[in-house]
Amino acid sequence: MSRIVIPGKFTLPRTKKRVFVIMVAMTLFLSYLLYNIFNLQVLMYDYYRDKVYDQITTSSILKAKRGNIYDSNMNLLATGETVWRIFVSPRDILSAGKNSGNDCFSAVASVLSEALSLDYESTLKKISNTSQLDVTLKKDADEDEYLKVLQLSREKGLEELISTEASQTRYYPCGTLAAHVLGFTGSDNQGLYGLEYYYDDILTGVDGFYLYAKDANGNKMPSEYATYTAAIDGYSLITTLDTYVQTQLESQLQTIVDTFDVKNRATGIVMDVKTGAILAMATSSPFDCNSPYVLDSLSEEKLLASGYDEGSDEYKALKKELLEIMWSNKAVSEIYEPGSTFKIITVSSALNAGVTKADDKYNCPGYHVVGGWHISCHKRTGHGSGITLAYGLQQSCNPTMMQVAAKMGAACFYDYFESFGYLEKTGIDLPSEGSSIFHKESALGETELATASFGQRFKVSIISQLCAVAAVANGGKLVVPYVVEKVIDKDGNVITEHSTQVKRQVISEETADLVSQILEEGVSGNGGAKNAYVDGYKIAAKTGTSEKFDILDANGNSYLRIGSTVAYNISDDGGIATIIVVDEPTTAKYGSVVAAPYVSALFSKILPYLGYEPTEEKINPESVIENYIGLSVNTAVNKLKSAGIKYEIVGDGDVVMAQTPTAGDTLRNDVGKVILYTSPDLEEEITVPNLLGDNASVANIKAINSGLNIKIEGAVNMDLGSGATVSAQSIPAGSTVKRGTVITITLIYLDTQD
């Protein structure tokens, strides 16, 4: 039986279903298409636009000039130096060769290898890579290399095929001077250490660019398709550093390291106590900022002594470690136990808190018992009974400090420790400032309090120790230290200028003045810091020697020491404070020996330079010698008499033909003598005696009897205690000099410990 099909009864639903499916599919397809269009035109617009621009354009970066760094007198410390990128276009060389029929690749390689001292075969291979549009042969050619490239390319007719592009690299005119403060930059001219790192954003500026269109062959299209945005040069820094003061500080540190065979570097700071301005800051691992990856001599010795093969992993790791140590600014980054220099803070706090007075009496049998421990004084026989607080500070008596701290109590001591700024960073504008390590207030028991009173068993940064002492020097104000005075633009307009920041009044002005007086009397009298004496100036100072408990010997005893001295000149207009810290000296260990004499030598140079007039009558007044050569004997004698200078005439002539000392030398008024010769043939020569180790009076007599004039540096108040002795003489024993030559001797006291 055949089946009858009625048209439309079954096909209509199927058709509708097919139409629905097709509509859904088309909708999904259109949605996908619209999504992709939206994604391309909106979401990914910037990406594909940049891709297209990259294909049809070429941009040249216009490097911004990095700002300069100046000292306080506008002496240049860091600047940009022009270098040249030497590069070629292999495609242009290929085209030129095809057009001329010459081997242009060989010709260009010959010029470049000769001008830039490159290997010819390597150069030829490099520039023959035509898949590259731009090949750089040297990115930092100096001026001589640049000029040689120009000269040879012109001689060979290749100037169109060799391109040059000027840029800036960092240059430090003073080499190693203030290296740890300035820091240095990397290959991309970005600051890596010191001020260069801390102020990198300010110094860097904003690069500009030159954007131009290119055709399918990479050729530049007409200028209407170009865009130019000028570079904005970085700002420059005017620092508080003074080149002369910095030089003097670095010189003293180097002398210390050489004299005492210092194993872990010495460091020092010079600061204006009123404003916090850093006049100098140095560490005795000087590196050339222009070549910062070259080790200093001490580090190089350690690397060679390691026995590692050059190029080995151990060798590379040690060199990296030594470089990082060399670069670190010890004055800011490292922390140390301040030792007896902290006694200034203990006494200032106790006096200000009213728990003691300067003339209160204390006992020192050579030790003090705290918590069952016998804690010694540096003077094992003791300072005696009934000594005043002032005397205890001047003599650096540990038992006195422990008794004073006990009177204060842990809470009061902790409050002043915090108020003096030790529990916070100073805020100096240099990177990587170290943080103090101190007992928690709840853990400051009687034994911890006792050892803390004389600066042991805790650590602070060297800059924080100087700032705390500066607060005593300036009348009780804790100021923020700083290095950058002004930020200026390329036209010299001031963008920002520093203003003194006072954190708080820590102690009263009366307390500060009293402590300064006590310290000064210890320096000018028979105190432990008398090696810091400076003739003609009131100097307040405290020496310190601390043990290093991080490293112990086989028996568990500390054997390494840190010797230091902190000092400031007393002045109505503020003053200058300095600190010198000597880490692991080996031939001597006390701060009174390894640091105090060099504080004295530093101050004797920089205080007159900075305009601080002597405040006291000099013990050994001196006169500057004039030039008498060519004058009649009578005229020269009248001048010498008017100046109050002794003289001797050798010869019967009427005109001065030679003199000793020479013009410009200084001469002691009491024993100095100028010798005038009426004929150069009459000049006498003498042999310099050995004065080392002699006491002051013996050295004086030996020098004068030998026919020398003598100049005294260091402990010029030389007859206190057991007397000062000669630690150095400017002319070696056995040398032959003219009679009347000035020999400088340096005197120090060896009877002080701290």
From CA 741, how far away is CA 260, in angstroms rounded? 29
CB 543 within 8 A of CB 752: yes
Across the strands, what pairs with 721? none
| pLDDT at 1 exceeding the cut of 60 | no
The amino acid sitting at 210 is Y
The mean predicted confidence, pLDDT, of the chain is: 90
The amino acid sitting at 391 is Y
Give which of 88, 81, 91 is closest to 110, Cα–Cα: 88
- Global confidence as pTM: 0.84
| pLDDT at 157 exceeding the cut of 90 | no
The amino acid sitting at 42 is V
What digits encode the pLDDT tens for the residues 66-119?
999 999 999 999 998 778 889 999 998 988 888 888 888 999 999 999 999 999
Altogether, the residues listed in the chain come to a count of: 754
Give which of 253, 211, 246, 207 is closest to 77, Cα–Cα: 246
Percentage above 70 pLDDT, the chain: 92
- Residue 697's pLDDT is 84
Residue 155 burial by Cβ neighbours in a 10 Å radius (0-12, 13-18, 19+) = exposed
The tokens for 643 are 């100046």
Q: Which stretch of 87-91, 345-349, 355-359, 520-524 has the lowest confidence by average pLDDT?
A: 87-91
- Residue 55's pLDDT is 56
Please list, residue by residue across 96-113, b when 16 or more beta carbons sit within 10 angstroms of its beta carbon and e when fewer do. Answer: bbeeeeeebbebbbbbbb
CB 110 within 8 A of CB 157: no
Omega prior to 661 cis, within 30 of 0: yes
From CA 337, how far away is CA 587, in angstroms rounded? 20
Q: Would residue 354 be called left, alpha or beta, if left means φ above 0 and alpha means ψ between -120 and 50 degrees?
A: left
From CA 478, how far away is CA 471, in angstroms rounded? 5
CB 398 within 8 A of CB 375: yes
From CA 171, how far away is CA 82, in angstroms rounded? 9
CB 565 within 8 A of CB 341: yes
- Residue 601's pLDDT is 94
What digits encode the pLDDT tens for the residues 432-451?
999 999 999 999 999 999 99
Coil/strand/helix, residue 725: strand
From CA 634, how far away is CA 645, in angstroms rounded? 15
From CA 280, how far away is CA 466, in angstroms rounded? 13
Alpha helices (H) in 7-103, listed in sequence order = 11-38, 45-56, 90-100
The tokens for 30 are 């259109």
509-524 helix and 462-473 helix, angle to the nearest 10 degrees: 100
Task: Tell me the CA distances in angstroms from 679 to 566, 656, 706, one per residue in order.
Answer: 51, 7, 22
| pLDDT at 509 exceeding the cut of 70 | yes
Residue 57 confidence class, pLDDT cut points 50, 70, 90 = low
Q: Would residue 668 be called left, alpha or beta, if left means φ above 0 and alpha means ψ between -120 and 50 degrees?
A: beta
User: Residue range 557-578: average pLDDT?
Assistant: 94
What digits encode the pLDDT tens for the residues 379-426?
999 999 999 999 999 999 999 999 999 999 999 999 999 999 999 999
The tokens for 688 are 């310099």
E-strand ranges in 148-192 read: 163-171
From CA 535, how far away is CA 217, in angstroms rounded? 79
Strand duo 646-650 + 673-677: pairing: parallel
| pLDDT at 461 exceeding the cut of 90 | yes
- Residue 504's pLDDT is 98
469's enclosing H/E stretch is: helix 462-473
Residue 649 confidence class, pLDDT cut points 50, 70, 90 = very high
From CA 89, how far away is CA 305, in angstroms rounded? 48
| Residue found by looking up tokens 């136990």 in the block | 337
Give which of 463, 572, 541, 582 is closest to 715, Cα–Cα: 541
CB 269 within 8 A of CB 262: no
What digits encode the pLDDT tens for the residues 193-216?
999 999 999 999 887 765 555 555
User: Residue range 351-362: average pLDDT?
Assistant: 98
Give the CB-side neighbour count of residue 278, counting CA atoms within 13 A. 30
From CA 245, how far away is CA 240, in angstroms rounded? 11
Percentage above 90 pLDDT, the chain: 68
281's enclosing H/E stretch is: strand 278-283
- Residue 226's pLDDT is 56
User: What DSSP string describes 589-656?
Assistant: --HHHHTHHHHHHHHHHHHHHTT----S--SS-EEE----TTSBHHHHHHHHHHHT-EEEEESS-SB-
From CA 82, how far away is CA 100, in angstroms rounded? 35
- Residue 304's pLDDT is 92
Give which of 576, 577, 596 is closest to 585, Cα–Cα: 596
347's enclosing H/E stretch is: helix 343-353
| pLDDT at 56 exceeding the cut of 60 | no
| pLDDT at 35 exceeding the cut of 80 | no
Residue 619 burial by Cβ neighbours in a 10 Å radius (0-12, 13-18, 19+) = middle
User: What DSSP string describes 363-403?
Assistant: EESSEEEETTEEEEPSSTT--EEEEEHHHHHHTT-HHHHHH
Residue 381's contacts (CB-CB under 8 Å, 6 or more residues apart) are: 366
Task: Tell me the CA distances in angstroms from 617 to 535, 537, 613, 620, 621, one per residue in order.
Answer: 8, 8, 11, 9, 8
CB 725 within 8 A of CB 693: yes
Give which of 358, 384, 404, 360 is closest to 522, Cα–Cα: 358
- Residue 351's pLDDT is 98
- Residue 225's pLDDT is 47
- Residue 328's pLDDT is 97
